[in-house]
Amino acid sequence: MKYAAHILALTVTLALVSTTAAAQLPSKQKLVTQVPFEFTVGKNLVPAGECIIERAGVGDNALLIYNRTGKVHLAALAMPDDASKESTRYSMVFHKYGEQYFLTGIRIAGTRRFYKMPVSSRERELQLAHMPATEQDVIASVQ
């Protein structure tokens, strides 16, 4: 009986690990998109233009964000989370307050995985001021 319990626990653990690994950002690939507006990530302002996102390492929550137009290279931590429904595409998700955009997360095609970005201090100020926000997706491709 003890042996069967150990086998069951091992099977469940392996299933969870394989599901989590499959739902991550592609390890050797990059998400690429054209963002038509400038946006904020943490304390960094990223200009409009081509944006490339990739994982900093295998299993890391650290993402590297590049913008060749503005010669911006930054790292940001993202927390994997599960959305309520499966995404049909890769996309960058932004909150828009007035004319200010904040990177909120990244959706992964074919999964419920959502990489949630921490709320910046500026976005938190807007939230506390009860400024209305809308959500905007910018579709990305994998290269």
Mean pLDDT for all residues in the chain: 81
Q: What is residue 2's predicted lDDT score, i.e. its pLDDT?
A: 43
**pLDDT beyond 90 at 128:** yes
Q: Which pTM value belongs to this model?
A: 0.78
Lowest mean pLDDT of 14-23, 31-40, 43-52, 75-84, name the range.
14-23
Q: What is residue 17's predicted lDDT score, i.e. its pLDDT?
A: 35
Per-residue model confidence as pLDDT tens digits over 47-71:
999 999 998 875 668 899 999 888 8
Q: What is residue 58's predicted lDDT score, i.e. its pLDDT?
A: 59
Distances (CA, A) of 67 to 79, 82, 137: 22, 27, 18
Mean pLDDT of 65-84: 88
Q: What is residue 119's predicted lDDT score, i.e. its pLDDT?
A: 94
Distances (CA, A) of 65 to 4, 41, 50, 92, 118: 46, 9, 10, 11, 15
Burial 34-43 (b: 16+ CB within 10 A, else e): ebeebbbbbe
The answer to whether 116 and 109 have CB atoms below 8 angstroms apart is no
Q: If you search the block for the tokens 């069951």, which residue do you land on?
A: 8
